[in-house]
Amino acid sequence: MTRKKPDIRLSKPVVVHRETTELSKMCPVLKVSGRMFPVEIEWMKTSYGSEIADEYEIKAIEKAAEIHGREPPGDILVFLTSQLEIEQCAKKLEILLRGMKDYWILPLHGKLQTDEQKLVFKDSPIGRRKIVLATNVAETSVTIPGIKYVVDTGAVKELSYDPRKKEYVYKDFKFQTMPSLMSVLHVLVLFLAIFPISRLQIRTQTNANSRFVQWMNGLFYLPRGNELRVRKEYRLLSDEERRSYHQAILLLKNDRTVLPNKFDAIASLHHLNTASGAHGGPGFLGWHRIYLTLFENALREKVPNVTIPYWDNTLDAELPDPRRSIMWSPLFFGNGNGAVVTGPFRRFTTPYGPLRRDIGADRRLMSKTDLENVFSRRWMWEISNPSAEDRYNLELLHNHVHVWIGEQMSRIESSSYDPAFFSHHAFVDCLWEEFRQRQRQHGINPGRDYPRIVGDQGHQPLVSMGLGRLLVVDGINDIFTQRIYSCQRRPECVPGTNHCGSPYIRCNWSTRTCLPLIMSNRPNNPVAQGPAQQQVPWWARLMQRNGLFG
């Protein structure tokens, strides 16, 4: 080769003595000794009882953020396994470092353009720290100047020969960690095989089965097309829409292909053991948003095109006695006192006994003043636990309604077995979306507005939500209301009529308020009665004659 190309140069990071001797007979050999630097190695603990594949990248970027906030100047290198992982971690790291401007996040992987790859060799701007997110394959072929801190996840992709393709390909990562490599791989394979939806820790006595997990996994999807589902106020549904919604719930309740039935299976997810980040912190709103989406997807397996109607309980709060609202008639939720024996959900059973209610015994419904207070705030921390004042705290206001309904609805572990739960939370979710729209009007990006003070560890932004592979911070993503659903405006008086877009809600024009029909002492005889007595309108008399309240 030296005869054909006399100016050839060979380089090798480490040259053994025998090779040096052979080379010196043919051409000069130059030795360049490298510089050695002291290196401190710190091992991070990993909970091998949980999902390593989800945990390692989160811990890596949390450690990078910690180094950036606490350690002296010097660039940071984080080893990851793929382009997708790098892109996802870059976004999550941006969230962790939001509010700071003294960092420069740079990706490094084989699919970047040459100019983009060269950025990692540039010096950081004055006063900024370079944070490089690189694959082990890309980084081992170059030396990045300025790196002082290295976060190695221990996860690598290895080059393996594929006999079927007859070529070398990069295959799935392996963990290189302090414990036995085989024991770690065993745990990883076990979880990937049995729990494809990550940290869905089902600890109820009925749902610890693979069929449930497989079914739940199929509920995580984005609908095709650009048409959004529209969630309406319960009383604004047409009779056909309302019947379809009730039918979908009953079909889930009667479907025992997942034990004990599909309705109860979904309800079991709203449990203290499986929803640690669902209450008592800023994760509350996002967790329930995703939970409602899963429930709605399950309903649509039974009856396509149904959506969860929201229950605007501020309308009922305007009544002299909200317990007599038509919402507690057989047309809607069914009776509100004792065992539920009327309406579509009559004689529902739950793991906590027959479905029961005790409306009005304690606490209160939400008021229009409550909404005005919430909408007067600008940031998510101002309406969320643990930072919000009581009058602005949307979770606390929502709690009052749970207790007002009573019985199963008054306890976290049993509330989701009452179908009223989903309409109540759909209303809270629509209020939150209205709050987010107001944020945009004030130049705030709600997709990045996750509070710094979160309280319980389960509300940390990069902790698994416990629903699929989603993290807590994924709950504030705009994708849900951009790709899946929207909320119809709350009921308003319709000009030229005496109702609010529904035969079940009349308009009191003297106060411009919408008031639900109420039931007399006999549930099958509703009358339009409010602060100002009015004659029963023609549409109410027509429904009475047709027996629609029986």
Q: Residue 545: its pLDDT value, please?
A: 45
Centroid of chain to Cα 37 = 44
Q: Is the pLDDT of residue 208 over 80?
A: no
Count of C-beta atoms within a 10 Å radius of residue 412: 15
Q: How far apart are CA 534 and CA 70, in angstroms?
A: 68
**Residue 69's pLDDT band (boundaries 50, 70, 90)?**
confident
485 forms bridges with which residues in the sheet?
A: 229
Pairing between β-strand 518-519 and β-strand 505-508 as defined by DSSP bridges: unpaired
* pLDDT more than 90, % of the chain: 50
Q: Are 42 and 66 in contact (CB under 8 A)?
A: no
Q: Are 415 and 399 in contact (CB under 8 A)?
A: no
Q: Residue 354: its pLDDT value, please?
A: 97
Q: Residue 167: its pLDDT value, please?
A: 62
281 vs 148 pLDDT, higher one:
281
Q: Are 424 and 398 in contact (CB under 8 A)?
A: yes
Q: Residue 385: its pLDDT value, please?
A: 94
Stretch 509-533: mean pLDDT: 64
Q: Is the pLDDT of residue 236 over 50?
A: yes
Q: Residue 543: its pLDDT value, please?
A: 45
Q: Is the pLDDT of residue 112 over 70?
A: yes
Q: Is the pLDDT of residue 384 over 90?
A: yes
pLDDT tens for residues 397-438? 999 999 999 999 999 999 999 999 999 999 999 999 999 999
Stretch 132-154: mean pLDDT: 77
Q: Is the pLDDT of residue 533 over 50?
A: no
Catalogue the E-assigned strands of 63-210: 75-80, 103-108, 129-135, 147-152, 155-162, 167-175
Q: Is the pLDDT of residue 526 over 60?
A: no
Q: How far apart are CA 387 and CA 55, in angstroms?
A: 28
Tokens of 308: 């969860």
Report the range of poorest mean pLDDT among 58-72, 156-170, 277-291, 494-508: 156-170
Q: Residue 181: its pLDDT value, please?
A: 34
pLDDT tens for residues 211-224? 888 898 899 988 88
Tell me phi and psi for residue 13, to 5 degrees. Answer: -60, -45
Report the range of poorest mean pLDDT among 39-53, 255-269, 331-345, 486-500: 39-53
Q: Residue 5: its pLDDT value, please?
A: 65
Q: Residue 200: its pLDDT value, please?
A: 36
Fill in the DSSP letter of residue 474. Answer: G
* pLDDT more than 70, % of the chain: 72
Tell me phi and psi for residue 287, to 5 degrees. Answer: -60, -50
Tokens of 199: 């940290």
pLDDT tens for residues 177-201? 433 333 333 333 333 332 333 333 3
pLDDT tens for residues 430-477? 999 999 999 999 999 999 999 999 988 899 999 888 888 889 999 999
Q: Residue 472: its pLDDT value, please?
A: 93
Q: How far apart are the first and last CA of the chain?
A: 98
Q: Is the pLDDT of residue 79 over 60?
A: yes
Q: Are 342 and 523 in contact (CB under 8 A)?
A: yes
486 forms bridges with which residues in the sheet?
A: 230
Q: Is the pLDDT of residue 138 over 80?
A: no
Stretch 86-105: mean pLDDT: 85
pLDDT tens for residues 272-319? 656 678 999 999 999 999 999 999 999 999 999 999 999 999 999 999
* Domains of the chain by start residue, with CATH: 52-194 (3.40.50.300), 210-487 (1.10.1280.10), 499-545 (no CATH)
Q: At 356, which helix (H) or strand (E)?
A: strand 356-358
Report the range of poorest mean pLDDT among 104-108, 140-144, 247-251, 388-392: 140-144
Q: Is the pLDDT of residue 519 over 50?
A: yes
Q: What is the average pLDDT score of the chain?
A: 81
Closest by CA position to 417, among listed 237, 228, 204, 187 = 204
